[in-house]
Amino acid sequence: MPSHKVVLIDYDVDLFDITPPVLAYMHDVIHAAGGRLVIGQYHDEHAVIEAASDADVVIIQTIRPLVPEPVLQKLVKCRGLIRAGLGYDSIDIEAATKLGIPVSNVINWCNDEVAEQTLALLFSTALHIISLHETVRNGMWDRSLAVPTYRMRGKTLGLIGYGRIAREVARRLQSFGFGIIAYDPYIKGNVMSELHVQKVEMAELLHRSNFISLHTPLTEGTSHLLNADSFAKMKDGVIIVNTSRGQVIDELALHEALRSGKVAGAGLDVFEIEPLPLDSPLRSCTNVVFTPHVSSYSLDAVDTLYRYTADIAAQILQRRWVQTIVNPDVRPLAENRWGDYVA
């Protein structure tokens, strides 16, 4: 009988349902590491505590804030918390660190998908694809809706954040003749120059960019990173694409910038509140392309996500220091609580 317990406390069944082969893989990998996997849909704090208070590893897939500090305090056996995804803003990282719980995310499972959705939103917005499509579908032939459209070669794309996904965007858009600049205080200029991307400060990116694409995590420093002041500093007619986190943009300020024409259009996969409220002023904007937070999805990506998640859980059970831990300062507290790591 396995001596350890791994609990997946929830997941999105509409996009992130687990296929039988991957489920078998997860059970096998975790069993080989001395654990048993429990999967459920525990959608309130009481249910999470009841299911996971005796778990060695707890996995959360959705981005809803299910793991605040009061819940973490009840996970008395938890040696590792895994966010089955890239972003980890749904977890109280400070509280987890204080309690000696390493938190890991999962990387490199959807880089291609998000990069390709970014391009799809950018081109759909810049080329008025959705509005033109709807006029033809509805029996009209209004070519004036294509005005204005500009040649993209020679235009400047600004990447806010230069992680793995932003680099995939840069690789793909090189062949279109974009000039690409990026703002990321944590990435050195020589890393950016490998893909002919120029490192700039935020103010310069806002001033120079014809297109701006967001690829930054949600933190206290990035909440409402694009706001009324930011939009005022941009070129007239800029196009915004966001596939990162909705809260990075002040949506009321974006609506005003779209209404005034300062922002010519936006491609949005993420929103401050999800689902996007029916009374959101953005819904009145004809120059916005919406998708419902699906940029990370493909059948391949979902399978990869859960396989990688199971691998991380197994490493935690084997007392290995996981390379994707997002709160590395927790290590002394974790070792004091659970003992030294084998690697």
Q: Which residues are catalytic?
A: 245, 274, 293
| Rounded alpha-carbon distances, angstroms, from residue 235 to 20, 167, 299 | 50, 24, 38
Cβ neighbours of 270 (radius 10 Å): 23
The two tokens of residue 58 are 């707890």
Facing residues of 241 across strands? 213, 267
User: Taking Cα atoms as reference points, which of 338, 275, 302 lies closest to residue 78?
Assistant: 338
**Residues 104 and 324: beta-carbon distance below 8 Å:** yes
The three-state DSSP-derived secondary structure of 130-153 is: HHHHHHHHCCCCCHHHHCCCCCCC
Contacts of 295 (CB under 8 A, 6+ apart): 110, 113, 114, 117, 118, 243, 269, 270
Tokens 């300020």, residue located: 253
Residue among 155, 253, 150 at smallest CA distance from 209:
155
The tokens for 317 are 């059970």
Tell me which DSSP letter residue 163 carries: S
Do 289 and 241 touch, CB atoms closer than 8 A? no
Dihedral sign (CA 272, 184, 215, 102)? negative
Element (H, E) at 3: none
CA angle in degrees (0–180, nearest 5) for 336-36-297: 95
Query: Of the candidates 14, 10, 16, which has an alpha carbon nearest to the alpha carbon of residue 42?
Result: 10
Q: Alpha carbon 112 to chain centroid distance? A: 13
Q: How far is 21 from 265, CA to CA, in rounded Å?
A: 42
